[in-house]
């Protein structure tokens, strides 16, 4: 996995808009097809046939063997067989490519290309593909696209070599940020390899197509394609490729918010990397597991993994992933109540304003630093960083949306170009097989008799038991064990569902971020038991005050997120004010009866009424309003600036009086 994930610095210029997930997929697809070219372009030269299978396992050794043979040919001084010499250069180019020596790989491939001709010559096509797939500058990629497209046009109709060149062309189009065009090309290649004789090329087309879909955020479609490649790698014992394809499966699961499954998949990728002695592969998995554990609130288990990954990335000078890991460490410091340490880390991370990091990670870094500034009561800088996060988030979402629209269109066109008669024939064959299987099953069911009834009864009992355990596990996974409120993950799910319903019904939705004032002082002076009492009591009185459809979830620490569907700013402000009065009545237990402790909170409100449609944007704006409330003295409710422009006169008068 190390050689497949060690290109970030080289590829970043070509993949700046894709983020880390798409970057890893791009790297995989840059290196992945090289292993299959031997089957795509069957070269018959004995030297090539003997050495090429060894390239993936020990490229350095193969390079020394090739160098010795080239030297021996030079010393002989006789006229050389051009094909024999070109075959040695092809092996040398592939070995250099595996070792990430792109310049040397292209040089060896060009030497070989000077010795062979013929548009369908397998040796020439092998050299041509290797040279093209080891180009990473935008200008070079454009030229490589033209070269591979011309070579593909010269191949016989429906030939394996033509399909393999089509896969290479799709990989190059995606490197050129032509995601829609790449999806169309790779969809065609994927369907053109749906035969047992082309199983290896089909697996390569699947992983390439999944990477194109992942690049535009279509993780639902990318996931089954990645799993197809995982099955192929496992069946053929390719541990290094399996570690990468399993890692990409985990990233798809993470993007789809299937956190438990994602952690398990990252763990599998990590185990494979450990068995290979691949320290960077282990570090990538550790970083992702740390990120997921942090999202789930398991901070103690997350920190050692992030610390370990950061050490490996620092030693290998992988700046971008090192900074990404440091962002997660800063979030852990914030959760541990050390905003100054978090701020020191984030200032180093953003020393170049994020130009040396993935765009998505830069946004998280600004948002996390805003929280650190807020915890240190530097609300001006907190607001500035939140604005920067929102600007970057909107730009990323817009670009992703446009790319996804174009990709969907191109993929639909590719599907129409596939031979319909062949598809109908396959469907007919499949229907006949299903009918045959169903007939056989009915015969077995009829013969089973009483035994079948007993089996059904046993299965019913197991199903009921599993459902009971599943409900218990689901409650534990979605409920905050201190307050009984939905935890952060469940709150986000409910908030997204409420936002989708509000958009579908054209009804307003208001979000409030609530933060208990001086909570750290309560913990420090009265102990954590008193602090836990305040959190539980606030949750209890809030549940009694809210409507049935409202959602109050624990957002983290002393912070809560309130989701108010079908609620205008006037009604939302009244609801939050009721909560504020109820909070004042909470009795805080303390040994000193003369000590008076008042429970107050500050809150920020944002609404969809002003046209906002992204949940992250609405929450970020509510967070910004919260910082304004904190900055103005606490025990206040504030509305974000965008929502304030659409607020009624009553809301503005109420805010002025408060």
Domains in the chain, number: 6
Statement to judge: residues 634 and 579 lie in one domain: yes
Per residue in 175-196, pLDDT (tens digit) is 887 878 888 888 888 988 888 8
Percent of the chain with pLDDT over 90: 41
Number of other CB atoms surrounding residue 400 within 10 Å: 17
Question: Whole-prediction pTM value?
Answer: 0.56
CB 207 within 8 A of CB 28: yes
Q: Residue 248: which pLDDT band, with cuts at 50, 70 and 90?
A: very high
- Measure the CA–CA gap between 548 and 446, rounded to whole angstroms: 51
Q: In this structure, are strands 637-639 and 601-607 parallel, antiparallel, or unpaired?
A: parallel
Establish if 483 belongs to a structural domain.
no
Nearest to 603 by CA among 625, 618, 574: 625
Q: Are residues 429 and 414 in the same domain?
A: no
Q: Are residues 380 and 462 in the same domain?
A: no
Can you give the pLDDT at residue 97?
84
Q: What is the pLDDT of residues 457-483, one digit of tens each?
A: 666 666 766 666 666 666 667 899 899
The pLDDT assigned to 302 comes to 95
Residue 618's domain is classified under what CATH number? Answer: 3.30.70.270
- Residues 391, 439, single domain; the answer is no
Which CATH number do you get for residue 266? Answer: 1.25.40.10
The whole-number average pLDDT for the span 486-495 is 92
Q: Looking at the structure, tell me whether residues 23 and 109 fall in a common domain.
A: yes
Mean pLDDT is lowest, of 93-102, 413-422, 644-653, for: 413-422
Residue 323 lies in a domain: no
Per-residue confidence band for 380, with pLDDT thresholds at 50, 70 and 90: very high
Domain identity same for 434 and 497: no
pLDDT in tens, 330-347: 999 999 999 999 999 999
Distance CA(56)–CA(239), nearest Å, equals 11
| Residue-level pLDDT at 73 | 81
Residue 126 has pLDDT above 60, yes or no: yes
Q: What is the mean pLDDT of residues 81-110?
A: 88
> Do the domain assignments include residue 440?
yes
At residue 100, φ and ψ (nearest 5 deg) are: 65, 20
Range scoring the smallest mean pLDDT among 192-196, 261-265, 334-338, 392-396 = 392-396
Q: Which domain holds residue 363?
A: 331-418
Same domain, 65 and 134: yes
The DSSP string of 545-603 is HS-TT-EEEEEETTEEEEEEET--HHHHHHHHHHHHHHHHTPPPP-S-TT------EEE
Answer for the pair 207, 32: CB distance below 8 angstroms, yes or no: yes
Q: What pLDDT is attached to residue 277? A: 87
What phi and psi, each to the nearest 5 degrees, are found at residue 646?
Answer: -100, 0
Does a structural domain hold residue 393? Answer: yes
Residue 350 in any domain: the answer is yes
- Does the structure show a pLDDT above 70 at 384? yes
Distances in whole angstroms, Cα of residue 644 to Cα of each of 142, 383, 613, 614 = 49, 16, 17, 18
Q: How confident is the model at residue 25 (pLDDT cuts 50, 70, 90)?
A: very low
Q: Which residues are catalytic?
A: 558
Residue 306 is assigned to a structural domain of this protein = yes
Domain end position, chosen among 290, 317, 344: 317
**Residues 575 and 610 occupy one common structural domain:** yes
Q: Give a yes or no: residue 312 inside a domain.
A: yes
The answer to whether the beta carbons of residues 315 and 307 sit under 8 Å apart is: no
Which of 208, 242, 272 marks a domain boundary? 208
Cα radius of gyration rounded to whole Å, the chain: 30
pLDDT at 345: 94
283 to each of 53, 259, 561, how far by Cα in Å? 29, 19, 34
Considering 399, 432, 448, which residue would you say is the last residue of a domain? 448
Q: State whether 292 and 340 are in the same domain.
A: no
% of the chain residues with pLDDT over 70: 79
Same domain, 181 and 72: yes
Residue 73 lies in a domain: yes
Residue 383 has pLDDT above 70, yes or no: yes
Distance CA 507, CA 574 (A): 18
Q: Are residues 353 and 468 in the same domain?
A: no
- Mean pLDDT value across residues 522-550: 90
pLDDT (tens digit per residue) in 40-78: 788 888 888 888 888 877 888 999 999 998 888 877 765
- 546, 611: one domain: yes
CATH number for position 188: 1.25.40
């Amino acid at each position: 996995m190390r050689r497949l994930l060690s290109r970030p610095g080289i590829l970043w210029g070509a993949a700046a808009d894709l983020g880390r997930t798409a970057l890893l997929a791009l790297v995989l697809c840059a290196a992945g097809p090289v292993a299959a070219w031997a089957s795509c372009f069957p070269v018959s030269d004995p030297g090539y046939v003997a050495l090429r299978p060894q390239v993936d396992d020990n490229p350095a050794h193969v390079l020394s063997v090739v160098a010795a043979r080239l030297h021996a040919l030079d010393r002989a001084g006789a006229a050389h067989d051009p094909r024999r010499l070109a075959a040695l250069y092809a092996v040398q180019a592939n070995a250099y490519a595996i070792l990430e020596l792109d310049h040397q790989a292209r040089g060896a491939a060009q030497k070989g290309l000077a010795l062979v001709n013929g548009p369908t010559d397998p040796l020439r096509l092998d050299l041509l593909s290797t040279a093209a797939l080891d180009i990473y500058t935008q200008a070079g990629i454009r030229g490589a696209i033209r070269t591979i497209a011309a070579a593909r046009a010269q191949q016989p109709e429906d030939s394996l070599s033509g399909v393999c060149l089509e896969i290479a062309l799709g990989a190059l189009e995606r490197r050129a940020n032509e995601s829609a065009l790449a999806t169309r090309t790779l969809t065609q290649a994927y369907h053109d390899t749906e035969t047992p004789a082309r199983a290896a090329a089909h697996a390569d087309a699947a992983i390439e197509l999944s990477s194109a879909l992942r690049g535009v955020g279509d993780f639902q479609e990318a996931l089954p394609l990645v799993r197809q490649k995982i099955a192929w790698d496992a069946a053929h014992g390719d541990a290094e490729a399996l570690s990468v394809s399993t890692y990409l499966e985990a990233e798809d699961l993470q993007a789809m918010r299937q956190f438990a499954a994602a952690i398990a998949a990252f763990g599998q990728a990590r185990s494979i990397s450990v068995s290979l002695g691949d320290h960077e592969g282990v570090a990538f998995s550790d970083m992702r597991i740390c990120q997921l554990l942090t999202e789930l609130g398991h901070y103690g288990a997350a920190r050692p993994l992030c610390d370990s990954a950061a050490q490996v990335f620092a030693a290998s000078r992988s700046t971008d992933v090192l900074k990404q890991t440091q962002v997660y460490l800063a979030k852990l410091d914030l959760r541990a109540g050390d905003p100054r340490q978090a701020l020191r880390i984030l200032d180093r991370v953003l020393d170049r304003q994020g130009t040396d990091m993935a765009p998505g990670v830069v946004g998280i870094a600004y948002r996390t630093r805003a929280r650190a500034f807020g915890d240190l009561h530097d609300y001006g800088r907190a607001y500035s960083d939140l604005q920067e996060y929102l600007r970057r988030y909107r730009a990323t979402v817009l670009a992703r949306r446009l790319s996804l629209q174009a990709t969907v269109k191109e993929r639909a066109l590719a599907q129409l170009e596939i031979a319909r008669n062949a598809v109908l024939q396959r469907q007919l064959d499949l229907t006949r097989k299903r009918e045959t299987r169903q007939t056989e099953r009915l015969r077995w069911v009829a013969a089973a008799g009483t035994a079948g009834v007993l089996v059904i009864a046993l299965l019913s009992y197991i199903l009921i038991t599993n459902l009971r355990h599943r409900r218990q596990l689901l409650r534990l996974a979605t409920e905050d064990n201190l307050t009984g409120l939905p935890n952060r993950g469940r709150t986000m799910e409910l908030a997204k569902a409420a936002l989708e319903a509000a958009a579908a019904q054209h009804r307003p939705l208001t979000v409030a971020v609530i933060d208990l004032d001086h909570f750290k002082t309560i913990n420090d002076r009265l102990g954590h038991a008193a602090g836990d009492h305040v959190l539980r009591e606030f949750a209890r009185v809030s549940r009694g005050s809210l409507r049935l459809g409202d959602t109050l979830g624990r957002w983290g620490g002393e912070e809560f997120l309130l989701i108010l569907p079908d609620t205008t700013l006037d009604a939302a402000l009244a609801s939050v004010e009721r909560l504020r009065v109820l909070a004042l009545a909470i009795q805080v237990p303390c040994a000193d009866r003369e000590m008076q402790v008042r429970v107050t909170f500050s809150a920020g409100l944002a609404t969809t009424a002003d046209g906002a449609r992204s949940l992250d944007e609405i929450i970020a704006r509510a967070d910004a309003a919260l910082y304004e409330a904190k900055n103005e003295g606490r025990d206040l409710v504030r509305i974000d600036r965008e929502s304030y422009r659409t607020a009624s006169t009553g809301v503005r008068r109420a805010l002025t009086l408060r």
